[in-house]
Amino acid sequence: MLTVEDLSYSYGSTNVFSGTSFEIFPGEIAFLVGENGSGKSTLLRCLAGWARPADGVVLLDGKSFDPSDRAMRGDVAFVPDTPVFYDDMTANEHLAFVRQANRVPREEDPSPRLMHMLGLSAYGDRIPATYSRGMKLKLAVVLALASRPKVLLLDEPYGPLDPSARGVLSALLKEYLDGGMAAVVSCHHEVPGIDPDLILGMGAACGKMGGAVG
């Protein structure tokens, strides 16, 4: 589903990571671990098309990932560590926008169930700016899953969540993985309910990607 070949990224003369290569197949999840500043968030931004790597390629379903291609961009959903929302739209309006943008029939929209599972149903008419950090993360996850991506990228999603919500997130990830989605998740916290198929380690010095451990 997702292939990364010799990916490198630099800030000016500072090398963030280099020679990063791995593959993730449908139904697999990879946890990206490493020290602060090792390049985890930057790697996820490159995979999402939010940042341009200095070298290397990202393949989606065997094709070079082009973030300017609307169809390909819709196959990848990225939840950054600090989600951003429209200032003048309620949570429900965000959900309706995503449903319409992805041409999902209302009767097939998973958003109501996802909102209920994550405890947000009672807050759908509120502006996300009024949400706590954990609630914002939950809403971002709902929006990402509602777009029905082939690849889901999550940057430190477990940190803002309480233990109960962490369990719900793991259950949702397992559900969507069983449906063929692939996922890359950066995480410093213990992840409840999921045994990762891959652990991708970001080295501390130059950020070079370590080997995959089954």
Delineate the domains of the chain, giving CATH numbers in brackets.
2-202 (3.40.50.300)
Distance between CA atoms of residues 65 and 80, nearest Å:
19
26-47 pLDDT, tens digit each: 999 888 887 777 778 889 999 9
pLDDT of 125 reads 96
Residue 74, pLDDT score: 82
What pLDDT is attached to residue 53? 85
- Residue 196 has what pLDDT? 57
Residues 6 or more apart whose CB falls under 8 angstroms from that of 122 comprise none
Give me the pLDDT at residue 159, please: 86
Q: For residue 99, is it left (φ>0), alpha (ψ between -120 and 50) or beta? A: alpha
At 55 the pLDDT is: 86
Model confidence, pTM: 0.84
pLDDT value at position 117? 95
The HSE-up count of residue 77 (CA atoms within 13 Å, CB side) is 20
Residues of the chain short of pLDDT 50, as ranges, are: 203-214
Give the whole-number percent of the chain exceeding pLDDT 90: 45
Strands of 12-125, DSSP E:
14-24, 29-34, 55-60, 63-64, 76-79
